[in-house]
Amino acid sequence: MYALVESGTITRIFHNPQGFELGDNQYSADVFTKWTKSEKEAIGLYEVTFDDTNKKNEKWYINTNQTFTYDADAGTVTAAYGTATAKAHADQGSGEDLVEGLKTILIREIKEQAGANLAKTDWYVTRKSEKSTAIPSNISTHRDAVRTKQAEMETAITNAADTAALETLYEVVNTGTEENPVYERPLGRLPELES
């Protein structure tokens, strides 16, 4: 990404090489790839440096648009983010104007995962209903474990005090050793049926 600086002001941002006009001169897209850094800067074309210091994970935060700043003393153009805003946890509005909060979205994801997990063994329930064939105990135990863990996960999400607490629930950490790592997250995962 490049910025065109004229009289100390950024006048254009180039996301991809393309031809452009500057004053009475027409420049081809080759300027971006064939000219040296000093040749580009001599006409006011600077490669943009990215400062992602304030950029946060978009699952949890709303980042600002980048702002572009020209530093004449350093001869640089920097793209930086402003302060990110945590996504709302609670639903806002109603009806067609409803904007789901982060907790609603996360809980729906857990419900969908549990539903997909249980769907793998639903045929046992259907068979029992239609033919009175007993559901194997390991299947019943697994299905109960999925529903129990789902409820625990939903409660943990609901009880998270702030965005940092939600992030922590999903952060995967090594609870084992370096030689024998065990990667887990505080929220846990839904149990899988053992073969």
Query: How far is Cα of residue 14 from the mean position of the Cα atoms in its chain?
Result: 25
pLDDT (tens digit, 9 = 90+) per residue, 29-46? 999 999 999 999 999 999
Check if the beta carbon of residue 147 is closer than 8 Å to that of residue 114: yes
Which residues, in sequence order, are bridge partners of residue 26?
21
**Integer Cα distance of 55 and 82 in angstroms:** 8
pLDDT at 9: 96
pLDDT (tens digit, 9 = 90+) per residue, 66-111? 999 999 999 999 999 999 999 999 999 999 999 999 999 999 999 9
Q: Centre a 10 Å sphere on the Cβ of residue 50 and count the other Cβ atoms it contains.
A: 12
pLDDT at 194: 81
pLDDT at 47: 97
pTM for the predicted model, two decimal places:
0.77
